[in-house]
Every structure is written in C-alpha cells, then in structure tokens.
Amino acid sequence: MFKRGKGFLEAKQKIESGKRHTLKEAVNLIVATSRTKFDETVDAAIRLGVNPAHADQMVRGSVVLPHGLGKSVKVLVFAKGEKEKEAIDAGADVVGTDDIIEKIKNGWLEFDRVVATPDMMGSVGKLGKILGPRGLMPNPKVGTVTFDVAKAVNELKAGKVEFRVEKAGIVHSPVGKVSFGAEKLLENVSALIETIIKLKPASSKGTYLKSISISTTMGPGIKVDPLEVKNI
C-alpha cells in the first residue's frame, strides 16, 4: 500500500481539510509547510467550466510570470538569415535550420523551449511526432511561431509559461519555487489566473473558475476560493 512521507503528513496536519483559502492564505501556507531539502516547484491546478472536446471551448495560451520560474531555460530557435543573428543576439542557446532538424531526428533533445520563424515551419513540421508529445512544438497561438524572434526568446528566458486545458477541464501550470516567498508566488499565480480569465470562451456558460488548488512538488494540495480570486 502507498505510504505518505513524514514531511507530507506534517504539512497536511497544518492544512484545514475542506477549507477554501484566500489566494494570499494559500501561498503563505505553501511557503510555511514546505519541509524538503530541495527548492520545491509550486504548481497550480485550475478546473474550468469548459468542455475541451468542443473546439470553441478550448482554453490555451501563455503568460510571462512576473518573477519567472526560478530556473534557466534553454531555448532553441529555427531561423535563417537575419533572423538567425537576431536570435543569437537575443540569447538563444541553439540556432539553426536543417542541421538541427536532423540532429533532433537522431535523438538530440537538449533544450526546453522551441521558437521558429513562419518560413521554417514547413521543415519543423516534420518533427511533429517528436516535439508534439513533449509539448515542444512551436505554435503561433502561444507566440512561438513568429518573425519577432528576439521578443519570443526574451519572454521565454524571463519565465513565459504555456498552458492548455486538459480533457478533464483542468489547467496545470508551474508558478515558481518555494524560495520565491509568498509575495512573489502570489503575483505569479495572480498573473496566471488573470490570463486564464481573459481567455474565457464566449460559449462557456455558468461558473468558469470551478476550483483552484496549489501545491508543491512533495506537498498536499491547498484549496483556493475561486470566488475570492475572481473578485480580486
């Protein structure tokens, strides 16, 4: 039988079962109950009143978190000519065309995010079966297929995260590290939720923010009152 660790159980004892906290209370609890020896990632799970099976209710987007994610991001850019130089000057870790495509086909995946100029997508599309399942395929809807490669690279380096509602109607996204402290985590989570609210589909009826929970890598989920968040 699965057994919870001592740290998890100690943290759970400090969280009132069933209570929905304000967002500020929740991030304070996240920081106060983290007891691991490593800097845990903080994640948000937001259940929406949408049916992703309908194309007009698909919620997908991106947001630049005010305080980033607390880790370095290795960015690969597919571009050529002047755009290749622009990507390098912006701080892209790897820039290339067909040579990089062949390298990926042979198993190389040492990068975290991918940007491509529109004229490269005909070639990059061949990597769909490799990049797609890993969430690495460039997409114009989240700003990773663009001729403004400098802006795309800068945003990714600064902590831009992409999100997409899952089949169960839930958006999962990292929002930072415990070491950020409550204030910075509050600002990051607020930025994510604000963006999701702005993306509410016109066809979505009834309650849009159904439930919100934040948790650390090894900790229990802490429920947040969606109504309080919406009012903020």
- What single string gives the DSSP state of each residue in 78-132? E--THHHHHHHHHT-SEEESHHHHHHHHTT----SEEEE-GGGHHHHGGGHHHHG
Mean pLDDT of 73-77: 96
**pLDDT confidence bin for 36, thresholds 50/70/90:** confident
What per-residue confidence (pLDDT) applies to 202? Answer: 92
Place of tokens 């066809």: 203
Interval 181-197: pLDDT, tens: 999 999 999 999 999 99
What per-residue confidence (pLDDT) applies to 140? Answer: 93
**pLDDT confidence bin for 230, thresholds 50/70/90:** confident
What per-residue confidence (pLDDT) applies to 1? Answer: 44
What per-residue confidence (pLDDT) applies to 18? Answer: 72
| Residues paired with residue 78 on neighbouring β-strands, in sequence order | 96, 116
Identify the CATH number of the domain defined by range 75-158: 3.40.50.790
Burial of 77 (0-12, 13-18, 19+ CB in 10 A): buried
Mean pLDDT of 136-146: 93
CA distance 84 to 153: 12
Of all residues in the chain, the percent with pLDDT exceeding 70 is 92
CATH topology of domain 15-68+160-231: Ribulose 1,5 Bisphosphate Carboxylase/Oxygenase (3.30.190)
Considering all CA atoms of the chain, what is the largest pairwise distance in Å, rounded to the nearest integer? 59
What per-residue confidence (pLDDT) applies to 14? Answer: 55
Interval 208-221: pLDDT, tens: 999 999 999 888 89
Average pLDDT of the chain? 90
What pTM does this model have?
0.80
Has residue 75 got a pLDDT over 70? yes
Has residue 164 got a pLDDT over 50? yes
Q: Return the domain boundaries, the chain.
A: 15-68+160-231, 75-158
> Whole-angstrom distance between the N-terminal and C-terminal Cα of the chain?
42
Cα 147–chain centre separation: 23
What per-residue confidence (pLDDT) applies to 6? Answer: 53
Q: Which two tokens stand for residue 220?
A: 């229990």
